[in-house]
Amino acid sequence: MAMAKTRYLEGKILDHVLRNIPYTPPTTIYLALFTADPGEAGGIATEITDPAYQRKAVTFSTAVDDVESGKLVKSTIDLDFAQATTEWGTVTHVMLMDAPTEGNGLYYGTVTNPKAISVGDFIKVPASELVVKED
């Protein structure tokens, strides 16, 4: 899955690196699930709304060289989302967020295999499946 930066993160990086405006990254990053593209604006209108759903805290490996992009990191733990208690629709996108609710999107992307989630279904994102690349 290819992931791109949101406008929010692009601005923070540019200000930090080129204008010496401090940016303190979040201590915890969360994975959010969506039924449509949150886009570069990082909108959360199409995030899953099931009362049982919660964003999942995710950790990443140390950045390593990647021949295609320059550098990459991979998720280091399995992310098991709660069993659906409502129809979620088809999960088509994900976004890395800086808060467990609301907050700012950081990176977003299209899932490799979109999945329709019915009542009783689960979603699991295995360790190493979530990859963020920089070039």
pLDDT tens readout for residues 65-98: 998 878 999 999 999 999 999 999 999 999 999 9
pLDDT tens readout for residues 48-66: 999 999 999 999 999 999 9
Q: What is the dihedral of CA 43, 105, 121, 124, to 10 degrees?
A: 160
Mean per-residue pLDDT for 33-46? Answer: 97
Eight-state DSSP code of residue 131: E
Please provide the size of the chain in residues. Answer: 135
Q: What is the pTM of this model?
A: 0.95
- pLDDT at residue 34, as a whole number: 98
- Measured between alpha carbons, how far is 6 from 40 in angstroms, rounded to an integer? 4
